[in-house]
Structure 1
Amino acid sequence: MKYWMLTLTCIGLLPASLSFAASDAATAADNVFREGVAYCNQASKLSRTDTEQARTQYSKYLSHLERAKTIDTRLLDNNSFAQREHKRCTLIDDNIARAEAMPIVEQSLAQCEQARAALDASNLEQASESFNQFQSLRDQALAVTPTVLRVGSLAVRMRVCDRLVEKISLAQSDQQLALQKASRALTVYNKALASCDVGRGMSATSSLSTEAVKALEDVLSQVNKQLSNGDALGNGLDRSVGDGQQLAAIRNRVTACSSDIVASVASMNTKLEQQALMAKKAEDAAIQPPQLAVQAELSILQGQEIVQIGDGSL
């Protein structure tokens, strides 16, 4: 009976003991958490100047938070101070993360500017490489914290940079089209040069004749037609750089060759005209003596008539 009464007494005291124990745990957890809040506050002060130290202080806050939650698992449910301060410290964590991401963001934006400058200079290979670097660094920054884009000015600059990919792709398409046009123009110019070289060889070996002149004029006509076709294909291409320089160089060779043939044709025509003139003079010289003989004979006859008339008058 004695032991039975003692058992009932202990059972009656158990809820009160548990209540006191829970209260003590809540108090102990609150104390540990408040110690952690001091580290959170320190992290907040350092977040703009020393992210490494800020992260160290914040890690200490998290450590105290976990200890407090181990003591009182319902700390963040029942303790209004802990609820409020934990929300504030979570925002501080975001601030630290943004500060950690900012150097990476600045590097990515610097690569974006390099890509834009390269694009303006038509250096598409460098533009593409710099843009890829921008994307890689941007993704690294977002991996640190997506909240970095909550900074309005950064979000705008990032969106502007993202649109560069469209401009680079368009420029690459234009460049590819220009390369195709340059290749086709180069083929036509090479044909013109080959034709012109044949004509120049003909001008050096052909005998002087109207047929030779006609053949050279036909070559010139063909060369000029090919040159016009090449010019049409290469229209709009920058002749001062890259493939444009090559086109300009071979076109100059074609025009120089064409000028040589034009000069040869002019020289041959001059010689043919001189030959024709000399032939005309020779022809004139060949028919001149008979004419003089007739004139002399007429003069003799006229002289005889005059004498006869004189004799008759006597």
Structure 2
Amino acid sequence: MKVGFKNISPALMTCLVLIPGIAAADTFDDAVNEYIKGYKECTEANTLRTTNLQGAKRKFDIYLKQLNRAKSIDPSILNTTQRDMDSNLRYCERVEINIKRAEATPILEKGFTYCDTAKESLKNGDVPTAQTNMTEYKRYRDDAMIITDSIMEVFALASKVRACSRVEEKLAESMKEENALVEKMNAAIQGYQVVNTQCEQAKTTISSPKFSLDKLDDVNDMMNEAAKAKKSARQNTEAFAVLTEQPNRPQSQELQKLVDSAAQCEGQTSEYIRTATKNKRALEKDINDGIASLSAAQDACENARKLSGRFVAEADITKAEADYNQSAALKRKVTGDAKLIATVQQYPSWSSSQKFSKLMNSTESCQKTTSASIKQQKAVFTSQQQKVKQDAARQAQLEQERQRLAEEKARKEAEEAKLLAEKKKAEELARKKADEEARKAAALTDVPDDVEVDDDEFGDFGDSNNDSNDWTKLVK
């Protein structure tokens, strides 16, 4: 049905115009009245803030609920100055900020304790601890900022946050150095991991029931590799300095654990090695004693072999046979030692076993050839001796014949000499007889004494040039 406004009275029209305004005024007042209920909770929250923060938060939560109800009735209450709504709202906003600050401040201050610890740790060079504490500080700081960033409007808190930011910057610089140090720590850790790996492998090998002494060199090689790795790791002096100065850092604890386990392994393995080495040396002594006997057997055999090249006297045969028998006796002594032979056969890779086997083979070869040579040369010498005896017999016969002929010749020469002597004697007697007769014929007693003649015994003998009176003519 269509209503015509021209039939409505002016008074009624006025009422119709005023009714919406009256209704709006009632809604605003209802909203404000609802807000006032919450405002009371806001003021109580502000009072409780310093003594009972949780109670203040509960009161303020009630205020916020009332505010939301009031807004739902009439949102305009948020933008009006009527009934002091603007000042009331600003007051409660400050209360909210203060409550949040009251809640955030202890959290931030708790974070400051971690910041201070980080700063002190950084000062002492303990970067990992500083990093851990700085991480905790930032967690508390961020939690406080989530509650309200208005805490930065508090000068003391803002100053402390800025100071912690400077610590964080210094920590970032130190972290670069720390990362380099961590690399060195990790290098030392890796080095000791090699030490433990090699040592444990050596210990497992030598402690096994199936361990054989011919594997002892392999075990020693493993321990030598462990020693090299340990020496290399120990050259990382910075890492071990940190281990001493900062024993609680994770890398230090890991490295210390490896160092301790390596020391324990080295001690146990070294004990196994000492026992095995003692046993090996005892067996090697037996082998070396056998080597000494074989060397003597070899020398005696070589002497016999040299003599058996050609026998020139019976003494050579005696000496060669004596040397050969000595060599054979020494070798029998060695081959008769069952334990020694078993040891050499069990550990053929040992250098002493190889030397033993080499000497055994060369001695056997020498004895074989020398025995044959002695037999051969002894037969040759016997044949030669028989020939020598035959030659000697012939020479004796020849010597007897020569001696007989010499005696016959001497006898004939003696007879001829006797005849010649008798002949010479006869001739000498004849000569003497003639001389005697001549002497008698020339005697001066047959000449008469002349007083006129000089009685000088020789007179002018030899002084006269008259040859008629010389000695020769007188003799004639």
Change (3 A) 1:127 1:133: same
Aligned to 1:242: 243
Q: Letter of the 2:99 partner, please give it.
A: I
State the distance in 2 between where 1:142 and 1:122 align: 30
Change (3 A) 1:133 1:244: closer
Aligned to 2:251: none
Residue 148 of structure 1: which of 146, 151, 156 is its match? 151
Aligned to 2:33: 31
Deviations 1:250-272 (A, max 9, x none): xxxxxxxxxxxxxxxxxxxxxxx
Aligned to 2:471: none
1:165 shift after superposition: 2.2
1:43 shift after superposition: 0.8
**SS at structure 2 position matched to 1:74:** helix
Residue 88 of structure 1: which of 85, 91, 95 is its match? 91
Q: Letter of the 1:242 partner, please give it.
A: L
Residue 115 of structure 2: which of 109, 112, 117 is its match? 112
Residue 57 of structure 1: which of 48, 59, 64 is its match? 59
Deviations 1:285-308 (A, max 9, x none): xxxxxxxxxxxxxxxxxxxxxxxx
Q: Is the 8 A contact 2:53 2:103 kept in 1?
A: yes
Deviations 1:3-49 (A, max 9, x none): 97358765442111122212222222222222221111101111122
Runs of 4+ in 1 over 4 A off after TM superposition: 1-4, 6-11, 175-184, 237-241
Change (3 A) 1:10 1:164: same
Q: Is the 8 A contact 1:238 1:244 kept in 2?
A: no
Change (3 A) 1:68 1:121: same
Aligned to 2:160: 157
Change (3 A) 1:128 1:11: same
State the distance in 1 between where 2:146 and 2:75 align: 31
1:77 shift after superposition: 2.7
Change (3 A) 1:114 1:18: same
Which structure has more RCO (C-alpha within 8 Å, separation ≥ 6)?
1
State the distance in 2 between where 1:77 and 1:112 align: 44
TM-score by length of 2: 0.37
Q: Is the 8 A contact 1:179 1:243 kept in 2?
A: no
1:89 shift after superposition: 0.5
Change (3 A) 1:72 1:103: same
**SS at structure 2 position matched to 1:163:** helix
Aligned to 1:17: 19
Runs of 5+ consecutive residues of structure 2 not aligned to the other structure: 192-234, 247-476
State the distance in 2 between where 1:137 and 1:35 align: 36
1:200-211 matches, cutoff 5 A? none
1:55 shift after superposition: 1.3
Deviations 1:263-285 (A, max 9, x none): xxxxxxxxxxxxxxxxxxxxxxx
Aligned to 2:136: 133
* Aligned length, in residue pairs: 199
Change (3 A) 1:50 1:105: same
Deviations 1:149-180 (A, max 9, x none): 11111111111111112222333333455678
Q: Letter of the 2:78 partner, please give it.
A: L
Aligned to 2:228: none
State the distance in 1 between where 2:99 and 2:168 align: 31
**SS at structure 1 position matched to 2:50:** coil
Structure index of larger Rg: 2
State the distance in 1 between where 2:4 and 2:181 align: 108
1:1-314 matches, cutoff 5 A? 5-6=7-8, 10-80=12-82, 81-175=84-178, 241-242=242-243
Q: Is the 8 A contact 1:115 1:126 kept in 2?
A: yes
Q: Letter of the 1:32 partner, please give it.
A: E
1:68 shift after superposition: 2.0
Q: Is the 8 A contact 2:115 2:134 kept in 1?
A: yes
